[in-house]
Protein backbone atom coordinates (compact mmCIF):
# COMPACT_ATOMS: atom_id res chain seq x y z
CA UNK A 1 0.00 0.00 0.00
CA UNK A 2 1.16 3.49 -0.83
CA UNK A 3 0.39 6.53 1.31
CA UNK A 4 0.12 10.08 -0.06
CA UNK A 5 -1.62 13.31 0.76
CA UNK A 6 -4.53 14.48 -1.34
CA UNK A 7 -5.72 18.02 -0.56
CA UNK A 8 -4.17 17.70 2.90
CA UNK A 9 -5.71 14.29 3.72
CA UNK A 10 -3.53 11.17 4.08
CA UNK A 11 -4.75 8.38 1.80
CA UNK A 12 -3.56 4.77 1.69
CA UNK A 13 -4.15 2.90 -1.56
CA UNK A 14 -2.84 0.03 -3.68
CA UNK A 15 -0.56 1.17 -6.52
CA UNK A 16 -3.09 0.02 -9.15
CA UNK A 17 -5.54 2.69 -7.92
CA UNK A 18 -3.21 5.62 -8.66
CA UNK A 19 -5.65 6.81 -11.37
CA UNK A 20 -8.26 7.35 -8.63
CA UNK A 21 -5.75 9.37 -6.60
CA UNK A 22 -5.03 11.46 -9.68
CA UNK A 23 -8.79 11.95 -10.15
CA UNK A 24 -9.24 13.16 -6.55
CA UNK A 25 -6.20 15.40 -6.77
CA UNK A 26 -6.51 16.88 -10.27
CA UNK A 27 -10.01 16.40 -11.69
CA UNK A 28 -12.04 17.42 -8.66
CA UNK A 29 -11.95 20.93 -7.34
CA UNK A 30 -10.70 21.26 -3.77
CA UNK A 31 -14.18 21.82 -2.34
CA UNK A 32 -15.59 18.74 -4.14
CA UNK A 33 -12.79 16.53 -2.84
CA UNK A 34 -13.12 18.00 0.66
CA UNK A 35 -16.82 17.07 0.65
CA UNK A 36 -15.92 13.43 -0.09
CA UNK A 37 -13.28 13.30 2.63
CA UNK A 38 -15.50 14.96 5.23
CA UNK A 39 -18.37 12.63 4.35
CA UNK A 40 -16.10 9.63 4.82
CA UNK A 41 -14.89 11.05 8.13
CA UNK A 42 -18.39 11.54 9.51
CA UNK A 43 -20.03 8.37 8.08
CA UNK A 44 -17.05 6.03 8.03
CA UNK A 45 -16.98 5.83 4.23
CA UNK A 46 -17.92 7.69 1.06
CA UNK A 47 -18.56 6.20 -2.37
CA UNK A 48 -17.77 7.92 -5.64
CA UNK A 49 -17.07 7.21 -9.28
CA UNK A 50 -14.54 8.77 -11.61
CA UNK A 51 -14.95 10.06 -15.15
CA UNK A 52 -14.43 6.53 -16.51
CA UNK A 53 -17.37 5.20 -14.42
CA UNK A 54 -15.07 3.21 -12.12
CA UNK A 55 -16.48 2.88 -8.60
CA UNK A 56 -14.48 3.57 -5.44
CA UNK A 57 -14.98 3.75 -1.70
CA UNK A 58 -13.04 6.08 0.56
CA UNK A 59 -12.90 4.63 4.10
CA UNK A 60 -11.93 6.66 7.16
CA UNK A 61 -9.50 4.98 9.58
CA UNK A 62 -10.39 6.61 12.89
CA UNK A 63 -7.45 5.28 14.89
CA UNK A 64 -4.93 6.60 12.37
CA UNK A 65 -6.85 9.65 11.08
CA UNK A 66 -6.13 8.43 7.53
CA UNK A 67 -8.26 7.27 4.63
CA UNK A 68 -8.09 4.05 2.62
CA UNK A 69 -9.11 4.03 -1.03
CA UNK A 70 -10.66 0.80 -2.32
CA UNK A 71 -12.11 -0.22 -5.68
CA UNK A 72 -15.79 -1.15 -5.50
CA UNK A 73 -17.45 -3.67 -7.79
CA UNK A 74 -20.68 -2.70 -9.49
CA UNK A 75 -23.75 -4.53 -8.29
List, run by run, the mean pLDDT of 10-residue segments along the chain (75 residues): 96 96 95 97 96 95 96 78
Residue 6 bridge partners (DSSP)? 9
The pLDDT score that the predictor gives to residue 73 is 77
pLDDT at 75 (0 to 100): 60
CA dihedral sign, ordered 21, 10, 69, 67: negative
pTM comes to: 0.90
Amino acid sequence: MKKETVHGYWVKFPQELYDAIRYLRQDLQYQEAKTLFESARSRGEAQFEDDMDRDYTLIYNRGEATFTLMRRQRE
